[in-house]
């Protein structure tokens, strides 16, 4: 039993090191995702959207508020984690389809964050943005890693041995998601859920 436990820990450690190496090897894709995201945050913040688009964004957040009304702290954290982990999963594992989904996801998320930041500053002042930082420190890296690896996933199509490269990218993406992205999103959900629950 002791040897079995040791081997499991050894496997996790091996996969964790391999995941960090894979992320490092994918840094140009992650930086690209960060650049696109940042650009559209600025666009969303500075460029007025058509009223119907702004209304749709507001309605979306109002719907989330309604869905989570009466949630306890644990339920709220679970809800936030579920949403973010699903988004990260799709951004990463749907990247094989020419990288369209992660790129589109990057643009939309950046725009939405920019619009929401603009609304928050307009209503409550610039200091209202501080609430984004505690969980954003963990959530944004997780999302950027997912988006960047999703974009890298799409490059298997340009490799000579496409099937083997696909399998390799799939395995490394899986472990990176499980051992790095998921823990970051758990911490982010705990922080965000706590802030929302206590009305901070």
Residue ranges per structural domain of the chain:
19-197
pLDDT (0 to 100) of residue 1: 47
> What torsion do the CA atoms of 81, 85, 87, 89 make, to the nearest 10 degrees?
-170
Q: How far is CA 112 from CA 15, 18, 109, in A?
A: 34, 33, 5
Contact yes or no for 175/15 (Cβ under 8 A): yes
HSE (side-chain half, CA atoms, 13 Å) at 196: 22
Distance CA 91, CA 105 (A): 7
Owner of token pair 């992660």: 102
DSSP-assigned letter for residue 48: P
Contact yes or no for 93/173 (Cβ under 8 A): yes
User: Does the global pTM surpass 0.75?
Assistant: yes
pLDDT (0 to 100) of residue 140: 92
pLDDT (0 to 100) of residue 27: 96
Two structure tokens written together for 78: 């679970």
Can you give the pLDDT of all 200 residues of the chain as single tens digits?
455 555 788 889 999 999 999 999 999 999 999 999 999 999 999 988 788 877 888 888 888 888 888 899 999 999 999 999 998 999 888 876 767 888 888 998 899 889 888 888 888 877 777 777 777 889 999 999 999 999 999 899 888 899 999 999 999 999 999 999 999 999 999 998 998 888 76
pLDDT (0 to 100) of residue 131: 73
CA-based angle 54:138:19, to the nearest 5?
120
Residues 6+ apart with CB under 8 A from 93: 150, 153, 170, 173, 177
């Amino acid at each position: 039993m002791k040897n079995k436990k040791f081997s499991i820990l050894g496997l996790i450690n091996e996969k964790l090191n391999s995941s960090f190496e894979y992320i490092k090897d994918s840094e140009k894709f992650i930086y690209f995702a960060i650049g696109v995201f940042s650009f559209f945050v600025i666009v969303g913040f500075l460029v007025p959207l058509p009223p119907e688009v702004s209304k749709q964004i507001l309605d979306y957040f109002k719907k989330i508020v309604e869905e989570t009304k009466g949630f306890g702290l644990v339920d709220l954290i679970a809800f936030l984690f579920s949403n973010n982990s699903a988004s990260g999963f799709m951004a990463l594992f749907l990247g094989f389809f020419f990288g369209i989904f992660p790129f589109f996801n990057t643009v939309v998320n950046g725009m939405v964050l920019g619009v929401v930041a603009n609304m928050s500053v307009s209503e409550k002042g610039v200091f209202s943005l501080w609430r984004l930082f505690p969980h954003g420190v963990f959530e944004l890296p997780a999302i950027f890693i997912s988006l960047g690896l999703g974009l890298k996933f799409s490059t298997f199509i340009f490799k000579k041995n496409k099937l083997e490269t696909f399998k390799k990218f799939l395995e490394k993406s899986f472990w990176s998601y499980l051992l790095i992205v998921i823990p970051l999103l758990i911490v982010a959900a705990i922080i965000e859920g706590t802030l929302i629950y206590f009305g901070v």
